[in-house]
C-alpha cells in the first residue's frame, strides 16, 4: 500500500469564502505530478486535507479520526492566515513536508 495516499475532504459549502473546487483541483494536479494518490472525502489515506470554505471549518470539525491532516478554513492553513493566491502553494508544501 502506498504511503502517499491523500484525501481531500470537503465541507458542505454553505458559506464559501474561497473556491474550494478550484483549490482542490490545483492541489490534486500538483500532488499527482509527485506520484501522490488522491481521493476525495475518504479516510483511507495517510493524510487528509480538510478543505472548508469558511472559518467554521466544518470539513474537519465533525471528523472523528486521528489521521494526520492539513486543515484549510477559508484563508487559513493550519490556523495561519495565508493570502488567497498562496493557499495552494502552502497546502502542497505542508503535504510534502509531512510525507
What is the pTM (predicted TM-score) of this model? 0.95
CA 37 to chain centre: 14
Is the pLDDT confidence value at 2 over 90?
A: no
Phi, psi of 37 (to 5 degrees): -95, 120
Residue range 54-73: mean pLDDT, rounded:
94
Q: How many residues does the chain have?
A: 99
Residue 60 gets the label, from left (phi > 0), alpha (psi -120 to 50) or beta, of alpha
Is the pLDDT confidence value at 1 over 60?
A: no
Q: How far apart are CA 59 and CA 70, in angstroms?
A: 11
Residue range 83-92: mean pLDDT, rounded:
97
**3-state percent breakdown (helix, strand, coil) of the chain, nearest 5:** 30, 25, 40
**pLDDT averaged over the chain?**
95
Label residue 3 by pLDDT band (50, 70, 90). confident
Q: Report pLDDT for 77.
A: 98
Amino acid at each position: 500500500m502506498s504511503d502517499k495516499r491523500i484525501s481531500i475532504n470537503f465541507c458542505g459549502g454553505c458559506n464559501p469564502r474561497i473556491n474550494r473546487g478550484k483549490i482542490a483541483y490545483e492541489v490534486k494536479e500538483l500532488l499527482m505530478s509527485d506520484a501522490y494518490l488522491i481521493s476525495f472525502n475518504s479516510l483511507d489515506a495517510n493524510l487528509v486535507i480538510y478543505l472548508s470554505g469558511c472559518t467554521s471549518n466544518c470539513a474537519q470539525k465533525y471528523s472523528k479520526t486521528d489521521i494526520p491532516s492539513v486543515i484549510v478554513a477559508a484563508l487559513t492553513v493550519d490556523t495561519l492566515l495565508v493570502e488567497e493566491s498562496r493557499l495552494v502553494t502552502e497546502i502542497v508544501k505542508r503535504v510534502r513536508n509531512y510525507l
